[in-house]
Amino acid sequence: MPSAGSPIVVLDSGLGGLTVVRAIRQVLPAEDIVYFGDTARLPYGSKSAATVTNFVRQIITYLYPLDPKHVVIACNTATALSMATIRSEFPDLNISGVIEPGARAAALAAGRRQRPVIGIIGTEATIRSRAYEQAIIRRRQLAKVFALPTPLLAPIIEDGRAVEDPLVQIALKQYLQPLMAKAINVLVLGCTHYPIYREAISAMVGNNVAVIDSADQCAQDVQRRLGSANLQRAGGAPGALRCFVTDNSPRFAMLAARFLGLEIEPPTWVSTDELHALASNSEPSAPEPMELRAAV
């Protein structure tokens, strides 16, 4: 059974989920966080539910021996495609994602409008899943929802492009103008990469459109859940952050600093062979012992 001292696991296809880690550390600075980025197999956003669910299952099986008090699927695509299956396969874990908190915030931000118009941008797979749409409509039956796949935004952000770059400006305009033409009241950033361009997006859609950052909402949701389960760690020393990745590419440091907003220790590499081997055993077995409080 996890205790207040157990870590929070945050997993993602790559490094975009570090925007969620950043948000969690702001509201819960004392928590130990274990981050897992599936950098060997990223991105998830163009892939199928079966493939993405398989990858997420492997990662959770690998981290299971850490006895996490909470698991955050910090990737909109993985939340959209795998959450229901993963929750049913790991009934003893507390698992949350980024979509329900984002949808709740979008419904709230719509205010007293009877027929709010809500735009969503995300990966091809997230949009195709209609997960946001359904989560919003459950809360606001009369909302008009326009969901738009914006598949180039994540690669552009991973390329480290400044928002002033003409290519970034054109991409944002091409993607946002069709939504602005629908007179949206709320825009959901349905991918953990997108907060990197949040200010420019807000400026483009204008002050009258509430921009919902699913990373922020997800962090507040984790805080609420730990609070009601009485599992928040008592303050004092800042929590540790340990990162695992499936590919050790030179991009890690650059992207991690960009998404997290600070430099971090080099990550631990986990081979996808090990993930596959573990997941093919019926009983999840322990990976090598982890020195959790070593880093940052």
Distance in angstroms (rounded) separating the CA atoms of residues 71 and 94: 6
Q: What is the DSSP letter of 145?
A: E
Distance in angstroms (rounded) separating the CA atoms of residues 217 and 97: 10
75 is catalytic: yes
150-to-57, 129, 177, 235, 291 alpha-carbon distances in Å: 26, 14, 12, 40, 39
3-state DSSP assignment of residue 28: coil
**22, 65, 113, 124: which one binds a copy of itself (CB under 8 A):** 124
3-state DSSP assignment of residue 290: coil
> If binding is defined by CB under 8 A, does position 142 make contact with a copy of itself?
no
Q: Give bridge partners of residue 135 from the DSSP assignment.
A: none
Residues, the chain: 296
- Comparing CA positions, the residue from 268, 259, 244, 214 lying closest to residue 38 is 244
Q: From the candidates 28, 34, 75, 93, give the one annotated as an active-site residue.
A: 75
243 is catalytic: no
Instruction: Considering only residues 232 through 251, tell me which ones interact with a copy of itself, judged by CB under 8 A.
Output: 246-251
Both structure tokens of 146: 């326009």
* Interface mask toward a copy of itself for 50-79; x: CB under 8 A: xx--x-------------------------
**135, 156, 211, 270: which one binds a copy of itself (CB under 8 A):** 156
**138, 224, 276, 293: which one binds a copy of itself (CB under 8 A):** 276
* String of DSSP letters for 89-108: H-TTS-EE-SHHHHHHHHHH
How many amino acids of this chain bind a copy of itself (CB under 8 A)? 36
> If binding is defined by CB under 8 A, does position 284 make contact with a copy of itself?
no
Q: From the candidates 8, 59, 121, 191, give the one annotated as an active-site residue.
A: 191
Residues annotated catalytic, as ranges: 75, 191
Q: Which stretches of the chain bind a copy of itself, using CB under 8 A?
A: 39-41, 46-48, 50-51, 54, 124-125, 128, 151-152, 155-156, 158-159, 166-167, 170-171, 174, 246-251, 271-273, 276-277, 279-280
